[in-house]
């Protein structure tokens, strides 16, 4: 029986297999070298981060049993057998959660307003002057790269302890993040309406208002809702540095080993974040149609 695959004559085949093997060896060598380099980086990183596997294995049991402990009440019973005892501070915690939501709401709105004012200056196609664009862009970059909680630390020093510092920190960080996203939306906008408005003798402000804004407003709203989701998470830890919200309670509970409180607050935070995610997803679906829902 003859083979269905036709074989090439010997010398021709040898040359081809040879080339194939060489290509294979080259590729393997490259992968090997990259892997070795990566291992070296990892080893250096292990020393840099003071990795101590002995501590890790000694205390890993603690990590697992930590979850066992936070799910136990003081009298040793499981938390879900006595819900009222588990959520004994529900009233206070819900108030703090409300404060957290308000912090992220007010912060997001302030950040949106600032980003809205700045983004037309930062976008390539609408900026009135190159030097202005450069300056605004660097400013937004700075606001976005410095983490929100660092701003919060500094603002706590300036404005005193309390939610005000958290709101301003979130507002500033959101300005940076949203300003960049907004200006990208503007850069994707169609410029022909702008020319149309310009040709009627309108100034810069009215051409932004009547030509660009109608095209970009939906994109803005969508990004703002997304930012709100992110800011709810961020606001939940602002309390760690004294900038208001539920984070303060959580920090105290973790530091003072009030185990069942830790799990109760964590459950509340996670549920709130889920609900906000679902809520904004629903709102996006309502506002911009099904395809915008993520």
Partner 1 sequence: MRPIEAPDPAALRDRYPQMFDRPASARLALPAMLLLVLAIFVFGLVDLDFSPARLVAGLRQLGWITLMMLPPDPGSSLPTYLKALGETLSIAVLGTTVAAVAALPISLLAARNVVPSVIVRFPVRRFFDTIRGVDQLIWALVWINVVGLGPFAGVLAIAVSDFGALGKLFSEAIEGADRKQVEGVRASGGHVLHEIRFGLLPQVLPVIAGQVLYFIESNTRSATIIGIVGAGGIGLQLAEQIRVLEWQKVSFLILMILVAVAAIDWISSKLRFAIIGRRAMA
Q: Which residues bind partner 1 (CB under 8 A)?
A: 27, 41-42, 44-52, 55-56, 59-60, 62-63, 66, 99, 102-103, 105-106, 109, 142, 145-147, 149-150, 153-155, 157-160, 162-164, 167, 233, 236-237, 240-241, 244, 250-251, 254-255, 257, 266, 269-270, 273-274
Q: How far is the CB of 80 from partner 1 (least distance, A)?
A: 16
Which CB atom, from 72 or from 233, has the smaller least distance to partner 1? Answer: 233
Which CB atom, from 60 or from 204, has the smaller least distance to partner 1? Answer: 60
Q: How far is the CB of 129 from partner 1 (least distance, A)?
A: 25
Which CB atom, from 146 or from 292, has the smaller least distance to partner 1? Answer: 146
Q: How far is the CB of 42 from partner 1 (least distance, A)?
A: 6
How many Cβ atoms sit within 10 Å of the Cβ of residue 207? 21
Which CB atom, from 213 or from 273, has the smaller least distance to partner 1? Answer: 273
Q: How far is the CB of 94 from partner 1 (least distance, A)?
A: 14
Which CB atom, from 109 or from 292, has the smaller least distance to partner 1? Answer: 109
Q: How far is the CB of 204 from partner 1 (least distance, A)?
A: 25
Which CB atom, from 59 or from 282, has the smaller least distance to partner 1? Answer: 59
Q: How far is the CB of 9 from partner 1 (least distance, A)?
A: 27
Which CB atom, from 197 or from 237, has the smaller least distance to partner 1? Answer: 237
| Residues in the chain, total | 294
Q: How far is the CB of 153 from partner 1 (least distance, A)?
A: 5
Q: What string of DSSP letters covers the chain?
A: ---SSPPPPHHHHHHHHHHHHHHHHHHHHHHHHHHHHHHHHHHHHHHHTT--HHHHHHHHHHHHHHHHHHTB-TTSSBGGG-HHHHTTTHHHHHHHHHHHHHHHHHHHHHHHHHHHHHHHHHSTTT-S-HHHHHHHHHHHHHHHHS-HHHHHHHHHHHH-SSHHHHHHHHHHHHHHHHHHHHHHHHHTS-SHHHHHHHHTT--HHHHIIIIIHHHHHHHHHHHHHHHHHHHHHHHHHHGGGTSSSTHHHHHHHHHTT-HHHHHHHHHHHHHHHHHHHHHHHHHHHHHH-GGG--
């Amino acid at each position: 029986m003859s083979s269905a695959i036709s074989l090439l004559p010997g010398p021709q085949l040898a040359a081809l297999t040879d080339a194939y093997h060489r290509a294979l060896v080259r590729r393997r060598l490259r992968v090997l070298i990259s892997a070795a380099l990566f291992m070296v980086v990892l080893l250096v990183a292990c020393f840099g981060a003071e990795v101590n596997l002995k501590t890790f294995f000694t205390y890993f049991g603690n990590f697992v049993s930590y979850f066992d402990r936070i799910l136990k009440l003081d009298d040793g019973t499981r938390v879900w057998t006595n819900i009222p005892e588990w959520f004994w501070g529900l009233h206070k915690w819900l108030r703090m959660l409300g404060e957290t939501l308000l912090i992220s709401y007010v912060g997001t709105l302030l950040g949106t307003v600032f980003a809205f004012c700045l983004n037309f200056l930062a976008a390539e196609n609408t900026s009135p002057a190159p030097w202005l664009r450069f300056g605004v862009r660097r400013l937004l970059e700075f606001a976005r790269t410095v983490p929100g909680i660092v701003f919060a630390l500094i603002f706590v020093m300036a404005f005193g302890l309390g939610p005000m510092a958290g709101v301003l920190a979130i507002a500033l960080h959101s300005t940076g993040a949203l300003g960049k996203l907004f200006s990208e939306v503007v850069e994707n906008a169609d410029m022909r309406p702008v020319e149309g408005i310009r040709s009627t003798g309108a100034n810069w402000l009215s051409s932004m208002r009547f030509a660009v804004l109608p095209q970009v407003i939906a994109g803005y709203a969508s990004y703002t809702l997304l930012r709100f989701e992110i800011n709810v998470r961020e606001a939940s830890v602002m309390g760690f540095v004294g900038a208001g919200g539920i984070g303060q309670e959580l920090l105290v509970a973790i530091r003072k080993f009030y185990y069942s409180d830790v799990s109760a607050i964590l459950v509340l935070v996670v549920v709130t974040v889920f609900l906000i995610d679902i809520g904004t997803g629903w709102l996006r679906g309502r506002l911009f149609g099904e395809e915008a829902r993520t």
